Structure 1
Amino acid sequence: MRLAARDVSFTYPRGDHQVLSGVTFDIPDGASAAIIGPSGSGKTTLLSLMGHLLPLKSGAIQAVDTDGADHSLADTASWVLQTVSLLPDRTAADNVMVGAYSDGASRADARARARDYLAQVGLVGREDEPARILSGGEAQRVAIARALASHRPIILADEPTGQLDATTSATVLEAMIGAHGERTVVIVTHDPAVAQRCDVVLELRDGSIMDHAGAPA
């Protein structure tokens, strides 16, 4: 899916500060994109608008397939939220299977996907552990595996490596964006190493996308 934003602006209800102003960008089908910028620049707000967690009132954000048809991001995107939410008394595999079920997978297919994606994020041997006993970093990786298991064409991730060390971050990024062209991945990050791995870097400052000269695009 190609992601395109046109003149997106946003102000929170009861707020007097415009968080986003005229944001426009294109992310090619199958590309990975990093949204970077200082705290308060609108990164998570933009991602939330892309994933329909916030209502879009000004401008447009489109998910367009290879035939040129528009799709709702609510139906084509899976999320990795900054605040990890797992079913605490179910196993790591059970939690990942939820993502596969959202794609209509059978139980056998869902279990196979869970084992595969947990292995890809470095959690071999932890499949049958209850989520409540996992560390914060392990829980984050389960959430990433769950998003991958959905097989939706777009992944929206808010600081997915924030709780991970450099080695584990590299493993997770390989799982998310290593299979180039299979999914379009958008990552909000403060980590320069993550941004360097992505095909597209969108830098937000004061609610606007900056060009390479540091001016609003």
Structure 2
Amino acid sequence: MRLVVRDVGFTYPRGDHPVLTSVSCDIPAGTAAAIIGPSGSGKTTLLSLMGDLLPLRTGSIEAVDSRGIGHPLAEAATWVFQTVSLLPARNVLDNAAIGAHSDGVPKADALSRAKDCLARVGMAGRERDPARTLSGGEAQRVAIARAMASNRPLLLADEPTGQLDARTSAAVLDAMIDARGDRTVVIVTHDLEVAARCDMTFELRDGALHTRPGRVP
């Protein structure tokens, strides 16, 4: 799924200054893209607009398939939020399967897909553990597996490695970036090492998006 952002501006209601002024980018299908920038620069706001969690004020954002057909952003995107929001009374496998369940995948297939995604983020063997027993980093990995278990073509991740140590971060990024063959991945991050793993990097500053050198021209 190609993600096309054109001249997007955004000011929060009652805000004195625009958060975004003229943001444009074109992220090809099957690409992993990073968005970096200082705190308060509007990275999470932009990601929320890409996933239709916030209403557009100006400009346009399109999710376009290989036939050139546009799809509703809210239906195309699956999320990794900074707040993991697991169901504490359910086990790890049930939580990870929610991503597939929400797409209408049959229960057996959803559980199978979730188990595979948990293994890819280093949570194999923890499927039956109650979510309430997990550490913050473990819960974050389950949230990432939940998003990866979805079959939606856009994976939007807001600081997905923020609670993980370096070794676990590398493994989780491997899993997320390897998934880009089936989907487009957009990662908001402060970590330049995370950004360096992506195919392309954009820097958000002064309300606008600037392309930084990367593997995709």
TM-score, normalised to structure 1, is 0.96
Which residue type is aligned with residue 160 of structure 1? P
1:28-67 alignment runs, 5 A limit: 28-67=28-67
- 1:210 to partner: Cα distance: 2.3
Structure 1 ranges of 4+ moved more than 2 A: 210-213
Q: 2-side partners of 1:179 and 1:210: how far apart?
A: 25
Count of residues in correspondence between the two structures = 213
- 1:180 to partner: Cα distance: 4.1
1:136-175 alignment runs, 5 A limit: 136-175=136-175
- 1:111 to partner: Cα distance: 1.2
Q: 1-side partners of 2:202 and 2:171: how far apart?
A: 23
- 1:181 to partner: Cα distance: 2.0
- 1:179 to partner: Cα distance: 3.7
Q: 2-side partners of 1:17 and 1:45: how far apart?
A: 14
Q: Match of 1:78?
A: 78
Q: 1-side partners of 2:151 and 2:206: how far apart?
A: 34
Q: 2-side partners of 1:110 and 1:65: how far apart?
A: 24
Matched, 1:105 2:112: no
- 1:212 to partner: Cα distance: 4.9
Paired residue secondary structure (2:58): coil
Q: Is 1:88–1:131's contact at 8 Å kept on the other side of the alignment?
A: yes
Q: Match of 2:176?
A: 176
Gaps of 5+ in 2: none
Matched, 1:210 2:210: yes
Q: Match of 1:124?
A: 124
Paired residue secondary structure (1:41): coil
Gaps of 5+ in 1: none
1:69-105 C-alpha deviation (Å, 9 max, x unpaired): 0001100110000111000000010001111111211
Q: 1-side partners of 2:5 and 2:111: how far apart?
A: 36
- 1:151 to partner: Cα distance: 1.3
Aligned identity (percent) is 68
Q: 2-side partners of 1:45 and 1:115: how far apart?
A: 32
Which residue type is aligned with residue 87 of structure 2? L
Q: Match of 1:186?
A: 186
Q: Is 1:31–1:185's contact at 8 Å kept on the other side of the alignment?
A: yes
Q: Match of 2:5?
A: 5
Q: 1-side partners of 2:198 and 2:18: how far apart?
A: 28
- 1:189 to partner: Cα distance: 0.2
Q: 1-side partners of 2:63 and 2:47: how far apart?
A: 13
Q: Is 1:42–1:206's contact at 8 Å kept on the other side of the alignment?
A: no
Q: Which moved further from structure 2: 180-189 or 30-39?
A: 180-189
Paired residue secondary structure (1:178): helix
Residues 212 and 169 (structure 1), Cα distance of their counterparts in 2 relative to 1, 3 Å cut:
closer
Which residue type is aligned with residue 181 of structure 1? G
The alignment yields a C-alpha RMSD, in angstroms, of: 1.1
Q: Which moved further from structure 2: 4-13 or 104-113?
A: 104-113
Residues 211 and 140 (structure 1), Cα distance of their counterparts in 2 relative to 1, 3 Å cut:
closer
Q: 1-side partners of 2:185 and 2:129: how far apart?
A: 28
